[in-house]
């Protein structure tokens, strides 16, 4: 058995473990009433009057959903077809399908039937405002069925122990399906030795923050970790901003007494992102370790990441909504702190470069970097350039905003929209073709989008615990009408109806496997 086969076998074993976690061994929600989650205290039932069916026990026949009359859009094309989902999987895609005896028939005429969104980068733990329940509720309300987040370790935990603890949280807490990236520092021989264990758990990814002040000191050890990651098929997520440059910029601002958030952009200059990206590219070229660059923000950074001199490298790139819709001017207004993310907002030319990258494929995907805070937390007068709360809530609105501003305005095609919000992430993170495509055999993860539904963005529509959105008041056309996650309707008629604890770990193949 070669190394790839060994990893594949180990991943299959992990899938079986995850499945058993998901069924028998899972702790159930004892204290929490398993009612549909509602926003705003409404107790109204869906107007269809249909209670959400419980997940079928093994002995019962699998439930069927027939999505009828819509236009099925995958990354490689669209076709008018019905979609039959039996149990958790799509069993048939084609015209004129006949519903089974107990099928729920969903009329999708005039609607787009797209793969459920896959967001590989969200923060649903720690000091952020969301947990797996509220975060994945926001996700399914936005047509996203699978969310990638972080298995942060407690002080006394190894990255693998943390991974096991977080995987066990999913069938207790999550509405959507969830996968995890390990995150550990500094790089050590022990971390390198854990790479096969991450792959064996079906969670072959980990994240490195080049922002750390001591990044340079650990560069040599990191190369050993990257070698081990490559051998195990583990993807390394890279936050590309150079810690030494950030530190120097911050020191200068402090020396000059310019520490208010008005100077935020100066505290994280673009050159820090360019330098770290060049470094990450070199590390990738040297090791051959697969990498994913998170939240790229500028034209010159993108050029550095796609340096043609290196040829084809195993690098995927995400940008995030902030860098598609906002420029640095937004940071200077009275509400500037609300728009702070890392890296900072950039110029109008950089915004255009991100759109161009999404169009031409140099940017592989749009990820949220959902990092939820309340307005009060973001506007806290105690904050400064050295102590701040980066990020915004994005899971709820990322797909509607991109559809309205991207597809309807002709900036990207509907197929490319599916690719950058689902398929590309499925392929980069070992989920394809279980996810990221609507075809026979794939999971029944579906967003039914009404392309003509006009609605104004309001943060109160967001199940996230964040109480504001940068898109407040935007008039969008094209919203999710229904979200189906593994054959279960989890969002319809404007409300999340999926149960906390009905989500499952999304088990992934190692990179290239």
Binding site for Zn ion (CB under 5 A): 369
Q: Report how far residue 49's alpha carbon sits from residue 22's, in angstroms, rounded to the nearest whole number.
A: 29
Closer residue to Zn ion (CB): 371 or 476: 371
Q: Are 251 and 234 in contact (CB under 8 A)?
A: no
* Cα 36 to Cα 53: distance, rounded to the nearest angstrom: 11
Distance CA 97, CA 94 (A): 7
Contact, 369 vs 297, CB < 8 A?
Answer: no
Cβ proximity to Zn ion: between 465 and 483 the closer is: 465
Beta carbon nearer to Zn ion, 369 or 462: 369
CA 311 to each of CA 285, 455, 465: distance values in angstroms, whole numbers, following the listed order: 9, 45, 43
- To the nearest whole angstrom, how small is the minimum distance from the Cβ of residue 134 to Zn ion? 17
Q: What are residue 160's phi and psi, to 5 degrees?
A: -70, -40
3-state helix, strand, coil in the chain (%, to 5): 35, 20, 45
Closest to Zn ion by CB, 82 vs 119, is 119
Q: Which is nearer to Zn ion, 169 or 369 (CB)?
A: 369
Residues 6 or more apart whose CB falls under 8 angstroms from that of 300 comprise: 270, 274
Which residue, chain included where needed, has tokens 């229904």? 482
CB closer to Zn ion, 82 vs 394: 394
Neighbour tally for 359: CB within 10 Å? 15
Residue 395 CB, nearest approach to Zn ion (Å) = 13
Give exposure, 145-154, as e/b (b: 16+ Cβ within 10 Å).
Answer: bbbbbbbbbe
Query: For residue 436, how many C-alpha atoms fall within 13 Å in the half-sphere facing its CB?
Result: 26
How far apart (Å, rounded) are the C-alpha atoms in residues 116 and 485? 7
In whole angstroms, the minimum distance from the beta carbon of 125 to Zn ion comes to: 12
**What gap in Å lies between CA 220 and CA 224, rounded to an integer?**
7
Please state the closest distance from residue 242 (CB atom) to Zn ion, in A.
Answer: 17
The residue (of 71 and 121) whose beta carbon lies closer to Zn ion is 121
Instruction: Give least dist CB 239 to Zn ion, A.
Output: 7
Distance in Å, CB of 121 to Zn ion, minimum: 6
Q: Closest distance between Zn ion and the C-beta of residue 341, in Å? A: 9
Query: Could you give the CA distance from residue 66 to residue 185 in angstroms, rounded to a whole number?
Result: 47
Neighbours of 69 (CB within 10 A): 18
> Nearer to Zn ion by C-beta: 239 or 306?
239
Instruction: Please give the DSSP secondary-structure letter assigned to residue 476.
Output: E
CB of 206 to Zn ion, least distance (A): 14
**Rounded least distance, CB 7 to Zn ion, Å:** 27
Q: Which residues have a Cβ under 8 Å from the Cβ of 363 and sit 6 or more positions away? A: 296, 302, 317, 318, 319, 354, 357, 420
Q: Which is nearer to Zn ion, 75 or 182 (CB)?
A: 182
* Alpha-carbon gap, residue 325 to 333, rounded angstroms: 16
Name which of 177 and 369 has its Cβ closer to Zn ion.
369
Of the candidates 103, 94, 95, 116, the one whose C-alpha atom is nearest the C-alpha of residue 66 is 103
For Zn ion, the closer CB: 342 or 384: 342
Of all residues in the shown chain, the one whose CB is closest to Zn ion is: 369
- Crossing angle of the two packed helices 159-173 and 132-141, in degrees rounded to 10: 60
Tokens of 201: 């758990």
**CB of 369 vs Zn ion, minimal distance in Å:** 4
Residue placing its CB nearer to Zn ion in the complex, 231 or 369? 369
Residues in the chain: 513
């Amino acid at each position: 058995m070669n190394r790839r086969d060994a990893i594949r076998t180990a991943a299959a074993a992990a899938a079986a473990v995850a499945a058993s976690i998901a069924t028998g061994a899972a702790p159930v929600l004892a204290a929490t009433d398993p009612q549909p989650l509602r926003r705003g205290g409404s107790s109204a039932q869906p107007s269809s009057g249909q209670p959400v069916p419980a997940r079928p026990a093994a002995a019962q026949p699998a439930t069927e959903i027939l999505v009828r009359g819509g236009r099925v859009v995958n990354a490689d094309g669209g076709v008018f077809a019905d979609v039959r989902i039996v149990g958790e999987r799509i069993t048939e895609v084609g015209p004129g399908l006949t519903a089974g005896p107990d099928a729920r028939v969903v009329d999708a005429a005039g609607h787009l039937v797209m793969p459920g969104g896959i967001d590989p980068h969200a923060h649903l733990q720690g000091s952020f405002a969301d947990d797996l329940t509220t975060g994945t509720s926001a996700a399914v309300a936005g047509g996203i069925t699978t969310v990638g987040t972080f298995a942060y370790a407690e002080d006394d935990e190894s990255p693998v122990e943390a991974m096991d603890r977080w995987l066990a949280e999913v069938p207790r807490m999550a509405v959507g399906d969830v996968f995890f990236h390990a995150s550990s520092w500094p790089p050590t021989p022990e971390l390198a030795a854990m790479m096969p264990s991450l792959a064996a758990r079906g969670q072959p990814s980990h994240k490195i923050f080049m922002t750390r002040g001591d990044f340079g000191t650990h560069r040599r050890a990191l190369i050993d970790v990257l070698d081990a990651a490559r051998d195990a098929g583990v993807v390394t997520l890279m936050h590309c901003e150079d810690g030494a440059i950030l530190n120097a910029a911050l020191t200068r601002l402090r020396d000059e007494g310019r520490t208010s958030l008005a100077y935020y952009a100066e505290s994280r200059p673009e050159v820090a992102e360019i330098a770290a990206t060049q470094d990450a590219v070199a590390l990738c070229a040297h090791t051959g370790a697969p990498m994913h660059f998170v939240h790229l923000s500028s034209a010159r950074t993108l050029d550095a990441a796609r340096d043609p001199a290196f040829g084809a490298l195993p690098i995927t790139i995400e940008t995030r909504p902030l860098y598609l819709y906002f420029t640095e001017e937004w940071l200077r207004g009275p509400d500037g702190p609300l728009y702070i993310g890392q890296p900072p907002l950039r110029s109008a030319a950089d915004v255009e470069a991100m759109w161009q990258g999404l169009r031409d494929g140099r940017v592989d995907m749009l990820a949220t970097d959902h990092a939820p805070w309340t307005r009060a937390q973001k506007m806290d007068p105690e904050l400064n350039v050295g102590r701040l709360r980066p990020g915004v809530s994005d899971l709820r609105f990322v797909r509607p905003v991109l559809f309205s501003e991207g597809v309807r305005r002709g900036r990207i095609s509907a197929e490319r929209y599916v690719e950058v919000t689902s398929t590309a992430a499925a392929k980069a993170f070992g989920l394809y073709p279980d996810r990221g495509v609507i075809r026979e055999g794939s999971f029944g993860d579906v967003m039914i989008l009404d392309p003509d539904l006009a609605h104004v963005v309001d943060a109160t529509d967001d199940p996230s615990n964040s109480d504001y959105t940068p898109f407040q008041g935007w008039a969008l056309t094209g919203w999710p009408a229904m979200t189906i996650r593994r054959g279960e309707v989890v969002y319809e008629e404007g409300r999340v109806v999926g149960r906390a604890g009905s989500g499952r770990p999304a088990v992934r193949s190692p990179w290239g496997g």
